[in-house]
Amino acid sequence: MTNFNEELLNLIRSNKNSETIKDELLNYHESDIAAIIPFLNDEEKIYLFKILGKEELSKILPYTDNIEELLENISDEKIADIVELMDSDDAVDTLQELDKDNREHILSLMEEEAREDAELILSYNDDEIGSKMTTNYIIIDKNDSIKQAMRKLIAQAQENDNISTIFVEDDNKKFFGAVDLKDLICASKDDSLEDFITKNYPFVYAKNLIEDCLNDIKEYSESTIPVLNYDKELIGVITANDLVEVVDEELTEDFHKFAAVTSQNDIEEGVIKSMSKRVPWLILLLFLGLLVSIVISNFDVVIATLPVMVFFQSLVLDMAGNSGTQSLAVTIRALTSDEINKKERLKLIFREVRVGLLNGMIVGILSFVICLLYLMISKSPIKEVYVFSDALLASFIVGISLLSAMTLSSFVGTLIPMFFKKIGIDPAVASGPLITTINDVVAVICYYGLTMILFSLI
């Protein structure tokens, strides 16, 4: 995409009068203007905020970071005016950037209606869909005529610009359905409004957990989804933009869980705070790593007698971890998207095991050939005296160990997230480092166990 930073900076720093600069600025998207604010000094920021005015700032600030720092040079009264002009969800995002005392003070300065909207959204927990809604929507009555509905649309559109879907309430102020804007525009004044109402329009309750209703919302592919309280009253909507933000937050959260980090780490976060978030996972993985070392130590006789087998240990452990992580990713994707029911979970386990088995066969045969060629060319001693049959057996162990470890790792990588889901823990907690360490134990037992068994038989 085009970068307008240089153009905008030159414009703000030009000798043109304020009105001209403002007119030219408004030819750019709010996001582009927000992008250059960090490059301005304090004097330039004050000048920019002054010429833009409260209404334009209310559109630009939601695209900025470090809002609390940006608002330092603006009076509390003006901040309250700016927040009032924002969509309610953007207003809440801005307020949440402020410390608690400052937030309460700004809320007290806001007009009653805007304050009530913000306090409503703030009343929901971060994991509830109500915390992501906006009160920017159009509502009409099911008994309205087409003409009355159009008048209400025009009147409310001055304050609310989410007009592609118009929502309808019944005589008891309960949610009744929705009307597409196109249908309303094309309707004749003699038509009945109820003929255009979709009565079974999808909705969510404000108290619904985001992770529980996210996939249902995505499946409907609507630009806005109504949010109701438990009295079936419409209190807000989830827009497409809100949905994108929620999906991004969910993916970011899962990414951090996969990296064995409990929550998002800000790039500017302090070392101690960042360390405190990561160290519990690292301690857990430390003990799991020690378990791997203990298992290996129990095969010390095998290692002392056949040191050449250590050469291929990392190969078996890495491939087992890779296979398990692939199955883990497929399983978590299926579980989080609710694509499978209980019966299909068993089918998924068998499928992943078969995939692991077939991949293990291919990789095992390939590694058998490569390891045998390596031992023959390098003439590495086995049992202190190089014997072709021993090299053949060592290569066979590597191949069969890969087959076994990759099959079992696929099984483990599928079973663990399912188990976590069953006991009510987010399956993404079965993170990459955790599953890899568990599969290391599986691979070590397969590799050195087979080595001990097969070499003891000859």
Quickly list DSSP for 24-66. Answer: HHTTS-HHHHHHHGGGS-HHHHHHHHHHHHHHHHHHHGGG-S-
Residues of the chain with CATH 1.10.357.20: 271-456
Distance separating alpha carbons of residues 207 and 305, to the nearest angstrom = 64
Residues of the chain with CATH 3.10.580.10: 138-258
Q: What is the pLDDT of residues 196-255, one digit of tens each?
A: 999 989 999 999 888 777 777 777 777 788 999 999 999 999 887 777 676 666 655 655
| Residue 240 and residue 224 in contact, taking contact as beta carbons nearer than 8 Å | yes
Q: Residue 17: helix, strand or coil by DSSP?
A: coil
216's tokens: 């249902």
Architecture of domain 5-127: Alpha Horseshoe (1.25)
* Helix/strand number for the chain, H first, E second: 19, 6
What per-residue confidence (pLDDT) applies to 2?
Answer: 61
Distance separating alpha carbons of residues 111 and 134, to the nearest angstrom = 17
Classify strands 165-169 and 138-141 as parallel, antiparallel or unpaired.
parallel
- The single residue listed with the structure tokens 């250059």 is 36
- Sheet order of strands, 234-239 included: 204-205, 224-228, 234-239
- The single residue listed with the structure tokens 């499946």 is 219
pTM: 0.59
In sequence order, the 6+-apart residues with CB closer than 8 A to the CB of 444 are: 292, 295, 296, 299, 313, 317
What per-residue confidence (pLDDT) applies to 372?
Answer: 85
Residue stretches of the chain with pLDDT short of 70: 1-2, 244, 246-271, 273-278, 281-282, 285, 305, 336-340, 379-387, 425-433, 457-458
Residues of the chain with CATH 1.25.60.10: 5-127
| Closest listed residue to residue 194, CA positions, set 141, 139, 152 | 141
Return phi, psi of residue 139, to 5°: -135, 140
| Closest listed residue to residue 148, CA positions, set 111, 105, 179, 115 | 179
| Residue 161 and residue 88 in contact, taking contact as beta carbons nearer than 8 Å | no
CB neighbour class for 387 (10 Å; exposed up to 12, middle 13-18, buried from 19): exposed
Report the amino acid identity of residue 359.
N
Report the amino acid identity of residue 197.
I
CATH number of 138-258: 3.10.580.10
User: Does the domain made of 271-456 have the CATH classification 1.10.357.10?
Assistant: no
